[in-house]
Amino acid sequence: MEEILDKLRLLDYERQFQMKMKMKPISRHYFAIPTNPGEQFFMFTSICAWLLQKAGRNFEQPQEYDDPNATISSILEELRHFGHSVDFPPSKLKQGCGEHCIYVLDKLADEALKSSGFHWDKPDYPQEELEEENVVEDDAELTLNEVEKSIFQNEMEEEEFEEEEQILDLEGLKRLSQKNQQVEHSKPEEIMESTTDAAAWKLEVERVLPQLKVTIRKDNKDWRDHVEQMHQHKDGIESSLTETKSYLDKLHDEISRTLEKIGSREKYINNQLEHLLSEYRAAQDQLSETKERYRQASGGVTERSRMLADVTEELERVKMEMEDRGSSMTDGAPLVKIKQAIQNLRKENVQMEIRIGVVEHVLLQAKLKDKTSQNKEVHSNKTQDTFDYNAY
């Protein structure tokens, strides 16, 4: 879903779709989590239609009350037109969210990017540069190694010098004493005075002093430093504990006395209010009993109110029937209607009798015609038989 949102931003959907269609912006998990199925389905179909238009297809923007089945089938048909497989039922898209909706949006976004001429370039990774801290640490490590080497060499020289002193023989001691005497004779009798300016000497010392200092950075992973820190913290805790222990003891004593006072006061208050508490409990029990009786009485009143309503309704119905019967007994309109109906029936009876007479007359004529035609046929048959007999 986040990749789809990036592709939509590359297609400038915020200005061309969101502002133009007046749609609210979608979040990076909008189509991944179900929130409002109707709204999500309309947003899904609208974005699909816009992507198809960006891909060069002539697809109309769907409306909110269009048939969802027709809209989904049209979108899937366009997706198959681009050569993508659709191996899920169309009903999966009716929810407006889920894996299948994201699949359709992703493929349509790719087609829209292809149609717009967009292509992905290979990423350019920046070259990582060494930090200054690492360089400083390396220099410190080199300096520390050099210092350790120099200390080791000095120790070796001192050991060699001590061994040489032990190996010196008497002649060597004589020569050494002679050299010392020559040095003492060569010393000047007067005190040598320096011609160097003291201020210039101090300036030179201050200039060279930073270069002469050897700074060794401590390694935080060294266990000796950790042990030293532990001892320092232990000493600090012990010194602080000796100072604060007296205050804590005093505070403990004060809190204990205060708790004892509170407990005694609470017992006194409970003893003083015991009879009030018993009265309160009795009043609560009485209140609960009264509430129960009120509930039962309320149930009886409700039942009787319902029965009263039924009786009132039945009484109203009987009253209406009585009024209808009384009005019908005093009203002469029904008699007039009966008389009119009788007259109509008489007229209809007369008309029916006339029609029956006409039908009987027609039937009588038809019977007479039928008998006449039968007599004629019988007479003609007899004549034909007589003629045939004579001819024979």
Three-state SS for the chain is CHHHHHHHHHCCHHHHHHHHHCCCCCCCCCCCCCCCHHHHHHHHHHHHHHHHHHCCCCCCCCCCCCCHHHHHHHHHHHHHHCCCCCCCCHHHHCCCCCHHHHHHHHHHHHHHHHHCCCCCCCCCCCCCCCCHHHHHHHHHHHHHHHHHHHHHHHHHHHHHHHHHHHHCCHHHHHHHHHHHHHHHHHCCCCCCCCCCCHHHHHHHHHHHHHHHCCCCCCCCCCHHHHHHHHHHHHHHHHHHHHHHHHHHHHHHHHHHHHHHHHHHHHHHHHHHCHHHHHHHHHHHHHHHHHHHHHHHHHHHHHHHHHHHHHHHHHHHHHHHHHHHHHHHHHCCHHHHHHHHHHHHHHHHHHHHHHHHHHHHHHHHHHHHHHHHHHHHHHHHHHHHHHHHHHHC
Distance of CA 80 to the CA centre of its chain: 32
Residue 325's pLDDT is: 80
Distance of CA 298 to the CA centre of its chain: 49
Per-residue pLDDT tens listing for the chain (392 residues): 888 888 888 888 888 887 777 788 888 888 888 888 888 888 888 889 888 888 888 888 888 778 888 888 888 888 888 888 888 888 888 888 888 888 888 888 888 888 887 766 666 666 655 444 444 444 444 444 555 556 556 556 555 544 444 444 445 555 656 655 554 555 455 556 667 778 888 888 888 877 776 555 555 566 777 888 899 999 989 888 888 888 889 999 999 999 999 999 999 998 888 888 889 999 999 999 999 888 888 888 888 888 999 999 999 999 998 888 877 777 677 778 888 999 999 999 999 999 999 999 999 999 998 888 888 888 777 777 666 666 66
Residue 136's pLDDT is: 42
Residue 311's pLDDT is: 93
The Cα-based distances of 36 to 4, 26, 27, 33, 44 in angstroms read 20, 13, 14, 9, 12
Residue 242's pLDDT is: 85
Residue 50's pLDDT is: 87
Residue 142's pLDDT is: 43
The pTM (predicted TM-score) of the whole model is: 0.34
